Amino acid sequence: MPDKLIVASALEAALVLSGLVLLWCFFLSPSARARASQPMPLPYWDIPGYVFGLTIVRLFGVAFIIQLLAASLLKKYAPDVPLDKGFGLLLSGFALQLGLLLGLGVSWVLLKSNRFQAQLNVAINPAAVQLPEPLPLSRIPFAGIATFLIMIALIAPIALLWPVLLEQFGHTPKPQEVVELFTAADSTAQLLSMMLFATIIAPITEELIFRFGIFRYLRGRVPRSVVFILPALMFAAAHQSLTAGLPLFVFGLIQAVAYERTGRIAVPMIAHGLFNLHTALFLMTGTDPYSALINRLAP
């Protein structure tokens, strides 16, 4: 085993161990379980269903228009660049994320102007129930790092066992398109663009949609099992990768818990960015201990 892979494996083991300690401290210890029964700092969303539906339509409508514009510009000024791989696929991904962010911005302005904004739902949160304050701003970075470490600890065994299980059912594990883009990057500019996309743009956009939007809207309207499972399933399905499906589903569950317990969407955003950075560093350095171990155990 190459030296750099040994170092990467040791560092990953340290991350997993740290995550397990935090998991005990914040979720499994008796005091943590007692705190979990108390009200959460995240208020319910008192936004009408038709307004939320129109917001979703507006969001993806703007994203679709931006993607069409990007494809048109690429076809006009770089007709030889394919849209389904390499730089063309990267540009398409940027256009989608930019469109989603613009759609979110437009939707938020319209919601604010119509007074349909996040507030306590008095039918669910009676005035007599005093919600705790959200996590102080100064503690948000630490909560994001803690969420990332817990995520690594919980997803690590799944990352090892899920591909093996898929192979047992005749499915050959295939990396996500973004993973293939990282490994195929042939310039510093393309690599830096991918890092920006994976560690900043995508975490902000996806957390706003799946946690701040869908998860937040469902809370108080459907059973809690559905509140957590449905957005996580949608998040996993949006990545269109069966190989990463179960890890991404667990990822979505952890992010929802972090958002609900802290009341700060910035916490899952930071954890998301760190997780993507963690994966990107493995890809860039060729030191993924999970793939190495799976290959060694394969018959």
In this structure, what token pair is assigned to residue 234?
Answer: 């949608």
Q: In 3D, which of 107, 65, 278 has the Cα closest to residue 205?
A: 107
DSSP line for 209-225: IIIIIIIHHHBTTB-HH
The string over 7-19, giving b where at least 16 C-beta atoms fall within 10 Å of a residue's C-beta and e elsewhere, is: ebbeebeebbebb
Euclidean distance between CA atoms 198 and 179, whole angstroms: 10
Q: In 3D, which of 151, 253, 171 has the Cα closest to residue 211?
A: 253
In this structure, what token pair is assigned to residue 63?
Answer: 């994203």
What's the pLDDT score for residue 68?
A: 87
Contacts of 138 (CB under 8 A, 6+ apart): none
What's the pLDDT score for residue 184?
A: 65
Evaluate whether 237 touches 229 at the Cβ level (below 8 Å): no
What's the pLDDT score for residue 171?
A: 76
Evaluate whether 220 touches 44 at the Cβ level (below 8 Å): yes
What's the pLDDT score for residue 123?
A: 41
pLDDT values of the chain reduced to their tens digit, one per residue, 299 residues: 557 888 888 899 999 999 999 999 999 999 888 887 888 888 887 777 887 888 888 888 888 898 888 888 878 877 776 666 666 677 777 888 888 999 888 887 777 665 544 443 444 454 555 778 899 999 999 999 999 999 999 999 998 889 888 888 877 777 676 666 666 666 777 788 888 888 999 999 999 999 999 999 999 889 999 999 999 999 999 988 888 899 999 999 999 999 999 999 999 999 999 999 998 888 887 777 777 666 665 55
Return the amino acid letter for 164.
Answer: V
Euclidean distance between CA atoms 63 and 58, whole angstroms: 9
Q: How many CB atoms lie within 10 A of CB 78?
A: 12
What's the pLDDT score for residue 81?
A: 65
Q: How far is CA 147 from CA 16, 91, 143, 237, 278, in A?
A: 12, 30, 6, 22, 13
The string over 163-194, giving b where at least 16 C-beta atoms fall within 10 Å of a residue's C-beta and e elsewhere, is: beebeeeeeebeeebbbebbeebeeeebeebb
Evaluate whether 86 touches 183 at the Cβ level (below 8 Å): no
| β-bridge mates for residue 222, sequence order | 219
DSSP category for residue 199: I
